[in-house]
Amino acid sequence: MSDLELINLTKHYGDVKALDQFSHVFASGQVHALIGKNGSGKSTFIKMMSGAISPTVGEIRIDGTPVDATSADPNQAFARGLATVYQELSLAQGLSVGENIFLGRLPKTRIGLVDWPAVYRNAQALLDKIGAAGIDPKSLVETLSIGQQQMVEIVKAMSFDPKILQLDEPTSALAQAEVNQLFEMVHRLKALGVTIIYITHRLSELPQIADTVTAIRDGVFVDSVPIAQATPQVILDMMFGEMEPLERPTHPIAKDTPALSVKGLACAPYFDDVSFDLYPGEVLGIAGMLGAGRTELFHCIYGARTPDAGTVAIAGQTVHKPSIPKMKALGVGYTSEDRKHSGLVQLLSSHANLCLAGQDKIAPKGWTSLTHERPFAAAQISDLQIKTGDPMLPVSSLSGGNQQKIVVGNWMNNDPKILLFDEPARGVDVQAKRQIYQIIWEKARSGLSWIVASTELEDLTECCDRILVLRDGRIMAEFLNEGLDAKDLYAACMTDSPLPKKEAI
């Protein structure tokens, strides 16, 4: 069991203080939730602890012994007993579980060959030790669920026998059953004496998993409180200071010609006989658990997947054989739930990412330049209040909330009429989420129609005018969002429970 003590830990990037004199002790054998808004310094903290970057000044001590953190070296972090599991999985999909756990250090026989029995035996022992015995070490990682892959990442980290384990947003892409399994694993690690730093935006998880809650704001340590004192208001105050209440504005929605009509759409085995209308300026929610078919429904509407049956109509006109170019030309945009891989090009600049979808409008003759693109990028940076010091730097340098705004701004430059928004709040903090809602509402008032899909049902009750429930591949209920309780929405997504009177199928 090992205490982690940080003394005046500071990281400067020029004049910017990403972390400023952070001092705190993370006591051994506990789960410490580390919270903060996007851009607060959490990512800098994680990278510094993992050896990816070195502090400008300050000291790190484990069990009172100073460690050398002057040079950025992840191997040194492992050597001093600190392992990190990042939000973005880094497993080799085509290799087995055992190979991934011991990648780069596979046990060898006396003659230098890989000792495969030892690989799988040792992997099985680790899986058993932390409660993941249901995973076969010989299985290919690509055959596992996201939750199981997350567990393999943790087992891989634990194979280094760390004293301290950092978990960065470990539940952001997990279904509830997988979250429960992950929590059981974390509790088992805690019982083994591992000190766990647990980074999350899902504040509702904290009472189930954390012993303490530590907040960082604008690179500065704010406070640390026992979980018994960490009420929602205390947590929000630590993260943001005072916040004005957010109220969803209401505006009249003309229900004449729908902006989008979906009739009898089917795509086995994901969904069947899905029908609904979306009206100009409406924010329509699609609620459903993981596996309900939400993303596949978006793919069929956008032309990225061919449905087995049904039709899609834009402004009353049926679209024959929808395709991505055809739907894009008709004013339909789509933002993927996987922002990193499908929504953005991480190596390109914020400027370039803002101009990808709108090239036909930016450069109608097929020739483009920075001069042509600059007004379009600048307009979205200003309109959406995107915080980017230099728009020519890689988009990967931005916080999650600002990256999500870049995704929206990219489509705004194509002047869309309908935007399909999958998991808009994934991996962003409360403040960034509120800013994204404000963008959605402002654009809806100007006539843009939205379909927002999310497994975070509270997000839909905060954001949408009307919500459809997709369960077992079918639309099972429809709610007008007037005083709607998220608990009723959860019930409709998971069971055949009685529905409120405001349902309107």
Residue 152 CA to residue 155 CA, distance in Å, equals: 5
Mean pLDDT of the region 419-429: 80
Average pLDDT value for the chain: 85
Lowest mean pLDDT among 156-165, 227-236, 425-434, 480-489: 425-434
Q: What is the pLDDT of residue 290?
A: 67
Which residues contact residue 179 at a Cβ distance below 8 angstroms, ignoring those fewer than 6 apart? 147, 171, 205
Higher pLDDT, 334 or 243: 334
Question: Selecting from 2.30.40.10, 3.40.50.300, 3.40.50.720, 3.30.70.940, what CATH number does the domain 257-331+418-423+456-505 have?
Answer: 3.40.50.300
115-162 pLDDT tens trace: 999 999 999 998 888 777 788 999 999 998 777 888 888 888 888 888
419, 411 contact by CB (below 8 A): yes
Listed by start position, the domains of the chain span: 4-240, 257-331+418-423+456-505
Q: What percent of the chain has pLDDT over 70?
A: 93
Which residues contact residue 110 at a Cβ distance below 8 angstroms, ignoring those fewer than 6 apart? none
Cα of 351 vs its chain's centroid, Å: 22
Q: What is the pLDDT of residue 499?
A: 40
Q: What is the pLDDT of residue 244?
A: 65
Structure token digits, residue 62: 């484990």
User: 4-240 sits in which CATH class?
Assistant: alpha beta
Evaluate if residue 456 carries a pLDDT over 90: no
Other Cβ atoms less than 10 A from the Cβ of 208: the count is 14
272-324 pLDDT tens trace: 999 999 999 999 999 987 677 888 999 999 999 999 999 999 999 999 999 99
210-227 pLDDT tens trace: 999 999 988 899 999 999
344-369 pLDDT tens trace: 888 899 999 999 888 888 888 778 88
- Give the CA angle between residues 67, 16, 166 to the nearest 5°: 40
Q: What is the pLDDT of residue 495?
A: 59
- The rounded radius of gyration (Å) of the Cα atoms in the chain is 24
Other Cβ atoms less than 10 A from the Cβ of 251: the count is 11
- Cα torsion through 150, 155, 159, 160, rounded to 10: 50
257-331+418-423+456-505: same fold as 4-240?
A: yes
Cα of 161 vs its chain's centroid, Å: 28
Evaluate if residue 505 carries a pLDDT over 70: no
Q: What is the pLDDT of residue 362?
A: 85
> Is the pTM here over 0.75, yes or no?
no
Residue 123 CA to residue 118 CA, distance in Å, equals: 8
19-36 pLDDT tens trace: 899 999 999 889 999 988
Between the two ends of the chain, the Cα-to-Cα distance in Å is 56
Cα of 19 vs its chain's centroid, Å: 23
Other Cβ atoms less than 10 A from the Cβ of 256: the count is 7
170-193 pLDDT tens trace: 887 676 777 888 888 888 889 888
Highest mean pLDDT among 54-68, 159-173, 263-277: 263-277
Q: Where does residue 293 rank: exposed (0-12), middle (13-18), buried (19+ CB within 10 A)? A: buried
Q: What is the pLDDT of residue 344?
A: 86
